[in-house]
Structure 1
Amino acid sequence: MEDETVVNDCTNQPSSAKSDSLLQWSKWQLIDSILPTGGFAHSFGLEAAMQSRIVSHPEDLQTYVIHVLENTGSLLLPFVYTATTSPDLQTWQQLDMILDATLTNEISRKASVSQGSALMRVSSSVFVEIPSLKMMRSASLSNGDVRFHHAPIFGLVCGLLGFDSETSQRAYMFITMRDIISAATRLNLVGPLGAAVLQHQVTFVAEELLKKWKNRGVDEACQTSPLLDTVQGCHSYLFSRLFCS
């Protein structure tokens, strides 16, 4: 009798509790490294920074990661935030157009388009409970008006999944930190254990940067580290390279 009561309690959970639980699974899947969006093909200019001796030691790496996160917060979080709060086709296309004009660095622009296109393709195939994702992608591909930049698409997917704006912005900061530290590991700048320690240490700074730059409109988007933009622009001139950017 007691077991039957337990079963009934589990099956009669409020629908909001069930949806919240499913939302957590979607959030973890979206930031999981197994999601094939191509993030690990990019080093955020770290490879070029190493070859130009801007980053030579693990101590330099921590500073570089923090600067990348600051630049991500100031430049890209406004697009994530706006797309999350207004996840519709018109807003997304407008944000995509603005970001394409904002990114003057051809290397970072191509990286953004590459990852964004992959994220849109994967999301429309994985999150089938949101048919509007596939319809938006098909309509945009047929019109050819959208470049598929990563930050607006990430915000769009988060908004359609039902994430709140702060969660989507924190998740975007996390995947940026995850990808650049992963690149540092493959460049032998830091070992796997050192990378895990570094990620934990930078987390506290990343949270402060999130609080500083979150919930801003795209009219406030700006570059805070122009040197990073310049270094990343030199990536295509490297004689040998492991990453695409």
Structure 2
Amino acid sequence: MKMEINKESEKPASESDLLQWSQWQLLDSILPTGGFAHSFGLEAAIQVGIVTGPEDLQTFIIHVLENTASLLLPFVHSATMSPNMENWQRLDRMLNATLTNEVGRKASISQGSALMRVAAAVFSEIHLLKTMREACLGAGTVAFHHAPVFGLVCGLVGFDSRTSQRAYLFITMRDVISAATRLNLVGPMGAAVLQHRIAPVAEAILTKLMDRGAEESFQTAPLLDTVQGCHGYLFSRLFCS
């Protein structure tokens, strides 16, 4: 029995096995991309009275996921399908023109820049990541918006588009729920229960709105966009957005 176990452990890992490690790392909260510095407008929504308790919180998160899927998943999908310099720059310019909410736009650039820097260092075997980052930093040709960068990294690492889009919705849900915990809207146990409860809804949203080109991007929750835009006017605030 011991010999059989040792033989099994000596088998080389397959490409799909190694890919899962990359997938888990990109979704790990320890990856320093700055996502936990943003509440996606939740902090402002609490202060203006749109979100007052756990029930409002669940509705808010679902609206955020719907808006993320309709507005940003097309950029994740397009970048994953064609992870090259020309397409990435095109998508970045399109998203920069699309995001009229200054708070949300700055948050997107902040997280995207951090993700590109981290990905270029972590996935050092993918030389194109470092090359693209350095070329664009010097030329100033891209703003480094988060959704296209996320799709680009996923595409170069080897993710399929559906996995990339599901992962983007997951980190959005994770970050909003984390913000809710730090804002004392829900406790850690309640946050875990809420995340599990919303997962089927998130999957349904993904199924409905995935695999669209950037030209099909649209917004479903303009009120939330307006509220997030007011974040900079809050008298006291814990988050950057």
TM-score when normalising by structure 1 = 0.96
Q: 1:18: Cα distance to partner?
A: 1.3
Instruction: Find 1:237's aligned residue among 224, 233, 237.
Output: 233
Sequence identity percentage: 70
Q: How many residues align?
A: 241
Asked if 1:183 corresponds to 2:179, the answer is yes
Q: Which residue of 1 aligns with 2:223?
A: 227
SS in 2 for 1:156: helix
Deviation at 1:201, TM superposition (A): 0.4
1:38 alignment counterpart: 34
Q: Return the alpha-carbon distance in structure 1 between the equivalents of residues 76 and 130 of structure 2.
A: 19
Residue ranges of structure 1 left out of the alignment (5+ in a row)? none
Read off the aligned partner of 2:178 and give its amino acid letter: S
**Equivalent position of 1:91 in the other structure:** 87
Alpha-carbon separation, structure 2, partners of 1:153 and 1:5: 41
Consecutive aligned runs of 4 or more in structure 1 exceeding 3 Å deviation: 9-13
CA RMSD of aligned residues (A): 1.4
Q: Which runs of 5+ in 2 are unaligned?
A: none
The within-5 A match list for 1:121-200 is 121-200=117-196
Aligned to 1:3: 3
Letter in 2 for 1:180: V
TM-score normalised by length of structure 2: 0.97
Shift in alpha-carbon separation, 1:61–1:4, aligned structure 2, 3 A? closer
Q: 1:48 aligns with which of 19, 44, 48?
A: 44
The 3-state SS of whatever aligns with 1:216 is coil
For residues 62 and 149 of structure 2, the distance between their equivalents in structure 1, rounded to whole angstroms, comes to 24
CA apart distance, 1:129: 1.1
User: What is the rounded CA distance, in whole Å, between the counterparts of 2:4 and 2:138 in structure 1?
Assistant: 54
* 1:3 Cα deviation from its structure 2 partner: 2.3
Cα distance in 1 between the residues matched to 2:131 and 2:219: 33
In the other structure, the counterpart of 2:103 is 107
SS at structure 1 position matched to 2:14: helix
Deviations 1:62-118 (A, max 9, x none): 000000000000000000000000000110000000000000000000000000000
Note if 1:21 corresponds to 2:24.
no
- Which residue is equivalent to 1:64? 60
Query: Take 2:221 and 2:230, find their aligned partners in 1: how far apart are those partners?
Result: 15
